[in-house]
Copies of this chain bind each other. A is one copy, B any other.
């Protein structure tokens, strides 16, 4: 019992944390509950029930299946479902009439053939990347509705009414979802994407700002492993591709909202995301240098220290400036000057290296830091270009 209680407490803590991390989750759950309760009025309220009957369950199903976390996802699924039902319903009725002409024995054979053909073709089409990313759910509903309508037609001659009822209950359920998800505390995928990109760039900036100091502290022999959480933040950027792409996909369905007009160029965000990830790969290499076995401080280290630290801090500042610019959607004011500073540090470093005043030549690690930092400057410049193209 003590163990059970400990488990329960642990569980409760997890639930609380999940809710606190993103309170919109709690609100979303309540919204789903509300939508479902509202749609079940179809059953409770006599006049509604008498006109829809058991087909009212399609409305409940639609709500459960279509209601997603963000407005874009809900709208996308709802439209997919609606359009697919309309199209497949029409075709299903057509197939039923065609099969009807072929007599009592031919009918099931012909219907079976239609269903087979349609399911095979539609399933194959779902493998197309473009269809998969935007219309996958629609294709699924297309297969489902076509099969249901055409096959039901064999037993039920009011097939037209069936198709009609299915379509109207689905539209009602779908519209309810869309309305509730848009009106009550909406969660916009576009805004999430916007924030995610800005946050990712900020994380990269955090790392770079801290990196220079940390690196030379460690090569200087001080092992301070305490407050370097900022050194891990960038890791999530490495694998953010999938979530960025799905958010951009959802965002494309959304109407204008807040600071984003309809048809906001979401694809540019993906480009910035790719740039950020390339930058993150470089940072991963930097981090590996940081965690390699620490070397004794070399004379050379202190020579390049200033320039390296400068480059790292300045490019970090530039990235953070860019992140802020994305967040507030204004032109970055001082990012350019930070980049200029980083570039001039890089030049200084290069001339230092060319001057050839080294004796101590066990520099493997130090030089690595330098090189990657110089690559980084290119990446920063790229990011800046993209950020500008967004603010056009």
Q: Which A residues are closer than 8 A to B by beta carbons?
A: 14-15, 18-19, 25-26, 28-30, 32-34, 36-37, 40, 43-44, 49, 54, 57, 60-61, 64-65, 108, 111-112, 115-117, 119-121, 123-124, 127-128, 140, 143-144, 147-148, 151-152, 154-156, 238-239, 241-242, 277-278, 281-282, 284-285, 288-289, 292, 350, 353-356, 358-359, 361-365, 367-368, 370-372, 374-375
* With A281-B238, A371-B364 as contacts: A65 and B115 at CB distance below 8 Å: no
Determine whether the beta carbon of A37 is less than 8 Å from that of B281: no
Query: Bound state CA distance, A25 and B371, in angstroms?
Result: 46
Count this chain's copies in the assembly. 2
Decide: A60 and B144 in contact? CB cutoff 8 A.
yes
A19-B124, A285-B285, A353-B361 known; 14 new pairs, CB 8 Å cut-off, are A14-B128, A18-B124, A29-B121, A33-B115, A36-B116, A37-B119, A40-B111, A44-B108, A54-B156, A64-B140, A281-B281, A282-B288, A358-B361, A368-B372
CB distance from A244 to the nearest CB of B (A): 11
> Taking CB as reference atom, which chain B residue is nearest A358?
B361
Option from B64, B140, B152 in Cβ contact (under 8 Å) with A147: B64
For A278, what are the chain B residues with a Cβ–Cβ distance below 8 Å?
A: 284
Chain B residues, Cβ within 8 Å of A238: 277, 281
Q: Can you spell out 5 A-B residue pairs with CB atoms less than 8 angstroms apart?
A: A33-B115, A281-B284, A281-B285, A350-B364, A365-B371
Chain B positions within 8 Å of A358 at CB level: 361
Report the Cα distance A278→B28, complex, angstroms.
36
The interface residues of chain B lying within 8 Å CB-to-CB of A64 are 119, 140, 143-144, 147
Instruction: Report the bound CA distance from A356 to B356 in whole Å.
Output: 12
Please classify the interface of chain A as helix (H, G, I), strand (E, B), loop, or mixed, using the class held by over half of its residues.
Answer: helix
Q: Which residues of B contact A140 (CB under 8 A)?
A: 64-65
Separation of A288 and B65 alpha carbons in the complex (Å): 45
Chain B proximity of A118: nearest CB distance (Å): 8
In the complex, which of the residues B40, B282, B285 contacts A112, with contact meaning CB atoms closer than 8 Å?
B40
B residues near A28, Cβ cutoff 8 Å: 123
Q: Do B116 and A33 have beta carbons less than 8 Å apart?
A: yes
- Give every chain B residue within 8 A of A147 (Cβ-Cβ): 36, 40, 60, 64
Residues of B within 8 A of A288 (CB): 282, 375
Q: A115-B40, A116-B36 are in contact. Are A127 and B370 (CB under 8 A)?
A: no
On whether the beta carbons of B144 and A65 are closer than 8 Å, the reply is yes
What is the CA–CA distance of A178 and B64 in the complex, to the nearest angstrom? Answer: 25
**CB-CB under 8 A for A49 and B364, given A147-B64, A148-B60:** no
- CB pair A364–B368 under 8 Å, yes or no, is no
Do A151 and B119 touch across chains, with their CB atoms under 8 A apart? no
Nearest opposing residue in chain B for A113, CB measure: B37
Q: When the two chains form their complex, are residues A36 and B367 in contact, meaning their CB atoms are under 8 A apart?
A: no
Q: Pick the contact of A282 from B154, B285, B356 — CB < 8 Å?
A: B285
Residues of B contacting A353 in the complex (Cβ-Cβ under 8 angstroms) = 361-364
